[in-house]
């Protein structure tokens, strides 16, 4: 594991995107603050300076790239495991958000740099740790560890736990460990009826649950369909 820590940067994902050729596989890049933190679907990721864990992980070895379908959900599962260590019960909102009760505590942005083939994967993770007030508009109601626990927690210790656990789980994944049963147990959307946009249409759907290949089985208008992340946005 290699680590790089910034006080401030545009985005840790963007930093890796611009520098992956000179960085080692399994380099973790963190920042206390981002001026252009990016979320999924072109959204911005806001975070109070110095209060949360913002980092990106570079995966450039082929054996990790091959596992791209499992990597974002396994990253979410890893965050959930660390939260459990802190006494917080969390679940995974497919494809890769981490929820505590009905609020979002962590978001993940998985990006691939592609030339002729995929050159690397960048796993960008934002976890709300010690932020207590979230001003402005949020699509999904946010929460943080300090809100859930009613106290601040040591950010450096938390960061090290997340890094260590993530490296371990990813190595177990490429060595053949199957995390499906564990992920399935933590499925937040399973059996829920929700609004979602699919094929540019807002629909009421029923989520059946996460499939073994980490796609999502849903049902609407009497049809059952397996969808990949990117094909759907949820409006809970």
> Which residues lie near ligand BTN (CB under 6 A)?
11-13, 34, 37-40, 43, 45, 54-56, 97, 107-109, 124-126
Cβ burial of 125 (10 Å; 0-12, 13-18, 19+) is buried
Least spacing, CB of residue 139 vs ligand BTN, in Å? 9
* Beta bridge mates, 93: 97
Using Cβ positions, the residue closest to ligand BTN within the complex turns out to be 107
Least spacing, CB of residue 221 vs ligand BTN, in Å? 28
Least spacing, CB of residue 116 vs ligand BTN, in Å? 26
Residue closer to ligand BTN by CB (options 35, 224) is 35
Residue closer to ligand BTN by CB (options 6, 180) is 6
Residue closer to ligand BTN by CB (options 70, 105) is 105
Least spacing, CB of residue 107 vs ligand BTN, in Å? 2
11-42 exposure pattern, b = at least 16 Cβ within 10 A, e = fewer: bbbbbbbeebeebebbbbbbbbbbeebbebee
Residue closer to ligand BTN by CB (options 179, 234) is 234
Least spacing, CB of residue 230 vs ligand BTN, in Å? 13
Residue closer to ligand BTN by CB (options 3, 62) is 3
Residue closer to ligand BTN by CB (options 56, 206) is 56
Q: Cα(176)–Cα(218) distance, rounded to whole angstroms?
A: 28
Report the candidate in 120, 118, 86, 123 with the shortest Cα–Cα distance to residue 105. 86
Least spacing, CB of residue 131 vs ligand BTN, in Å? 13
């Amino acid at each position: 594991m290699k680590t790089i820590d910034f006080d401030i940067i545009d985005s840790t994902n963007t930093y890796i995107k611009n520098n992956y050729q000179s960085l080692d596989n399994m380099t973790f890049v963190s920042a206390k603050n981002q001026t252009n933190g990016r979320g999924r679907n072109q959204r911005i990721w806001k975070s109070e300076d110095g209060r949360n864990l913002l980092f990106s992980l570079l995966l450039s070895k082929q054996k990790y790239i091959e596992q791209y379908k499992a990597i974002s959900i396994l990253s979410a599962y890893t965050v959930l495991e660390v939260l459990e260590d802190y006494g917080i019960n969390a679940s995974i909102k497919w494809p890769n958000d981490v929820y505590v009760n009905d609020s979002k505590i962590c978001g993940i942005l998985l990006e691939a740099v592609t030339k002729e083939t995929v050159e690397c994967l960048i796993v960008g993770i934002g976890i709300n740790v010690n932020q207590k007030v979230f001003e402005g508009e949020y699509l999904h109601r946010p929460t943080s560890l300090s809100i859930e626990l009613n106290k601040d927690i040591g950010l450096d210790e938390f960061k090290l736990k997340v890094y260590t656990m993530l490296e371990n789980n990813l190595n177990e994944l490429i060595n053949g460990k199957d995390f499906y049963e564990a992920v399935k147990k933590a499925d937040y959307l399973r059996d829920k009826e929700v609004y979602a946009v699919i094929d540019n249409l807002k629909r009421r759907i029923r989520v059946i649950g996460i499939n073994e290949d980490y796609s999502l089985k849903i049902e609407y208008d009497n049809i059952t369909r397996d969808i990949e992340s990117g094909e759907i946005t949820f409006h809970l």
